[in-house]
Amino acid sequence: MNSSRRMPSLRALQVFQVSGNHLSFKEAAEELFLTASAVSHQVKNLETFLGIDLFVRKTRGLELTEAGSRYHEFLSFMFARLEDETQQLHKNFGRQLIRLCVPPFLANELLLPKLSEIKELMPETDVRVVTQPGAMQTHPADADVSILVGTGDWADLEAIELFPRKVMTACSPELKQKVKLDSPADLDARTLIVHENRPEAWTDWAKALGYPEPEANKVYRFDSMAAVVQAAAEGHGVALVYWPLSKRWFDSGSLVRALGDIVDTEESFFVAFRTEDGDREEVSRLVEWIVENCSIDA
């Protein structure tokens, strides 16, 4: 470590912490409104300052080293504490703030259309909605309330089930009329669409239904469920989409069921919060509203 400086810059620490959240310089750059090269440069400078590798750079992403994982956990805690203290100051002398972290597709489908209702529910509280790519499976250190995907067995969290995460094959009405899609075998030599964070989704789908895995002619991978659904609606192929979260697309006629399938993933969407936060009025009110307005009958 550089003996002439006892501490790295706060900015470098923040850039590393956000990069560790996403395990991606690109996604960290989007959150921080920087370029990916600037993020990479900041992290490299921090590693040089510490004399320690914090990440293992891989072709398709990043992986924290053992030292990096310990440092990231510590910084996440410290930044959360710093934000908590800042918000406590704001609570005592200004408007309240509550932080809600949700998957992007769920935000698009359920929260954004009803955002005005949250404003009316909590007129004296600012709500900061943060979306994270993929299906969230852990409660971020800086979140007050999260919507997570899993089985509900998170330590130190209160979790209330909203609806199950099921998947089904879907495509545009035009594609359904154009090609034969009567059985899983008809997916062979077709273009299939899948979420990048769940690359084995088609394998798992076939296994759950007892079918051979489709032998696709081409596979499109997208890093968001919104893009998966949009690509299917525009007729680019057959996608595995979340049900009932994508119900609005079927109701509007933008998507139709490609086959008669539906697979229970044994996971659900939950609204979650730390046990100690349950007594906070703004947390309890927001959780109650989410349970009432974001539960869907599967």
> Tell me, what CATH number does 185's domain have?
3.40.190.10
More confident residue, 96 or 257: 257
**Confidence check: pLDDT of 5 > 70:** no
Q: Is 211 exposed, middle or buried (0-12, 13-18, 19+ CB in 10 A)?
A: middle
Residues 134 and 271 reside in one and the same domain: yes
Provide the domain count of the chain.
3
Residues 249 and 183 reside in one and the same domain: yes
Residues 123 and 184 reside in one and the same domain: no
Read off the pLDDT band of 133 (50, 70, 90): low
Residues 146 and 200 reside in one and the same domain: no
Query: Domain ends where: 56, 73, 90?
Result: 73
Residues 108 and 246 reside in one and the same domain: no
Residues 125 and 201 reside in one and the same domain: no
Residues 176 and 261 reside in one and the same domain: yes
Share of the chain above pLDDT 70, in %: 95
Residues 189 and 152 reside in one and the same domain: no
Q: Which of 201, 255, 204 is nearest to 226 (CA)?
A: 255
Residue at 289 is within a domain: yes
**Confidence check: pLDDT of 94 > 60:** no
* pLDDT value of residue 158: 93
Per-chain mean pLDDT for the chain? 89
> Which structural domain, as residue segments, surrounds residue 19?
10-73
Q: What angle do CA 115, 122, 144 make, to 5 degrees?
A: 85
Residues 111 and 24 reside in one and the same domain: no
Residues 260 and 287 reside in one and the same domain: no
Q: What is the pTM of this model?
A: 0.66
Side-chain half-sphere of 92: how many Cα atoms within 13 Å? 5
* pLDDT value of residue 219: 93
Query: Domain ends where: 55, 73, 91?
Result: 73
More confident residue, 90 or 7: 7
Q: Which of 159, 104, 113 is nearest to 291 (CA)?
A: 159
Residue at 298 is within a domain: no
**Confidence check: pLDDT of 135 > 70:** no
